[in-house]
Amino acid sequence: MRKPVIISFGGGKGGVGKSTMTSNIGALLAQNKHSIGFIDADLGGANLHLCLGVKRPRYNLQDYLSGRVNNLSDIIEKTIVENSWLISGASDILELANPYFSQKQKIINNIKKLDVDYILVDLGAGSSSNVTDFFAAFSNGVIILDGLPTSIENAYGFLKNGIIRGITRLFPGRKDLKSHFQKFSDPHKEDGFATVTEMLGFLNHHYPEETHTIREWLRNRKTFLILNMVKYKEDISVAKKFTAIVKKYLNVNLQFLGYLINEPEVRRSMREMKPLVISNPPKKALECFIAITENLKTLTNGQSNVL
Ligand SMILES: Nc1ncnc2c1ncn2[C@@H]1O[C@H](COP(=O)(O)OP(=O)(O)OP(=O)(O)O)[C@@H](O)[C@H]1O
Ligand SMILES: [Mg+2]
């Protein structure tokens, strides 16, 4: 059985194009003869199905968590994209909006066992643990910015929380370590850490083995960047600025996958519930999607990225 390459799509800010990217990149990968699994991990306001031609999903993750079905593979359904399937989130089921970590872990562990080439995970908006736990669980994560400075702030908070959640989960029950990680989440505290490097330097003195584990976890991650809704050449400076901030404070080397121009046809395709790349795309937008997808394919390298 093959191990899938799993890639999450997030960014903190709502409406930056997470679902647009997930559905269109998936459609292009499927055109390249890869099998694709789409997962809508937005547990409060799932709507990826609407980008993939599925009007009303028959099942969603709630059916799985409640035990109505036994396997994650029992709730997959076909999409309008050939050679692909979808596992839908839950649109308005409040009981799912705050699942226990064990429930998320059950979903995460079983996603990693699905037999498919690529799994693309569409994350919800925001930086809460319900979103960042999924981001931290998979070693390939794409961050999407919409070209506005506000998206930098949201994406930074998202990535930082993702790192803190990820390293916290490496050491369940270790309150001592957790309290140090929290000093990084709140650097304004008197003994707070301003950067990941600072935190790791401190930890290395007191917990060398655990610090090694954290460094390995960080090293195994690949974080990518896409700039969406580009109107002017200068918009690219937002991506550059974000990359520099993330390097300085989080010690993460972001890999830039490319940009998508602002293109009204994206909305049209969404209304038609079809990814733009399979519904008569304008040339320039298609070129953008192809460049992003090719870069993503090369940089994830087709290898297993299961942690
Ligand atoms: N490059 C683009 N040009 C024009 N419109 C776009 C572009 N990308 C996305 N949009 C539009 O912006 C809106 C938000 O996109 P999308 O739903 O993909 O964002 P999202 O990040 O998934 O949102 P949410 O946080 O609500 O899940 C949609 O109406 C979509 O059609
Ligand atoms: Mg979305």
Task: Dump pLDDT digits (tens) for 17-50.
Answer: 999 999 999 999 999 999 999 999 988 788 999 9
E strand segments, the chain? 5-10, 36-40, 77-78, 84-87, 118-122, 140-145, 222-230, 255-261
Q: Is the dihedral of CA 198, 204, 209, 212 positive or negative?
A: positive
Quick one: pLDDT band at residue 278, thresholds 50, 70, 90? very high
Between helix 149-170 and helix 208-219 the angle, nearest 10°, is: 130
d(CA 117, CA 103): 25
Mean pLDDT of 116-138: 94
Q: Is the pLDDT of residue 1 over 80?
A: no
Mean pLDDT rounded to a whole number for the chain: 92
Site residues for ligand 1, CB cut-off 6 Å: 14-20, 125, 228-229, 260, 262-263, 266-267, 270
d(CA 215, CA 251): 11
Quick one: pLDDT band at residue 170, thresholds 50, 70, 90? very high
d(CA 40, CA 78): 14
d(CA 307, CA 297): 18
46/203: higher pLDDT = 203
Q: pTM score, two decimals? A: 0.95
Mean pLDDT of 191-204: 93
User: What pLDDT shows up at residue 97?
Assistant: 53
Give the residue whose CA is nearest to atom 30 of ligand 1. Answer: 267
User: What pLDDT shows up at residue 161?
Assistant: 95
How many angstroms does the Cα of residue 20 sit away from the middle of ligand 2? 7
Range in 71-80, 93-102, 142-151, 283-292 with the lowest mean pLDDT: 93-102
The first and second tokens of residue 133, run together, are 């736990």
How many angstroms does the Cα of residue 206 sit away from the middle of ligand 2? 42
| b/e sequence 28-43, b meaning 16+ C-beta within 10 Å | bbbbeebbbbbbbbbb
User: What pLDDT shows up at residue 192?
Assistant: 87
Nearest ligand 1 atom to the CA of 122 is: 22
User: What pLDDT shows up at residue 288?
Assistant: 98
User: What pLDDT shows up at residue 95?
Assistant: 57
Pocket test for ligand 1, best of 263, 266, 274 (most atoms within 8 A of CB): 266
Mean pLDDT of 247-272: 96
Can you state the percent helix, strand and coil of the chain, rounding each to 5?
A: 50, 15, 35
Residues 214/244, Cβ–Cβ less than 8 Å: no
Mean pLDDT of 247-263: 96
User: What pLDDT shows up at residue 209?
Assistant: 98
How many angstroms does the Cα of residue 190 sit away from the middle of ligand 2? 38
Give the closest residue to 141 by CA, choosing from 27, 253, 29: 253
Domain segments of the chain: what residues?
A: 5-160+224-300
Fold of 5-160+224-300: Rossmann fold (3.40.50)
Residues 293/29, Cβ–Cβ less than 8 Å: yes
CA distances from 251 to 162, 191, 243 (A): 13, 20, 10
- Per residue in 89-122, pLDDT tens? 876 554 555 667 888 899 999 999 999 999 999 9
Give the closest residue to 174 by CA, choosing from 205, 142, 207: 207
User: What pLDDT shows up at residue 303?
Assistant: 47
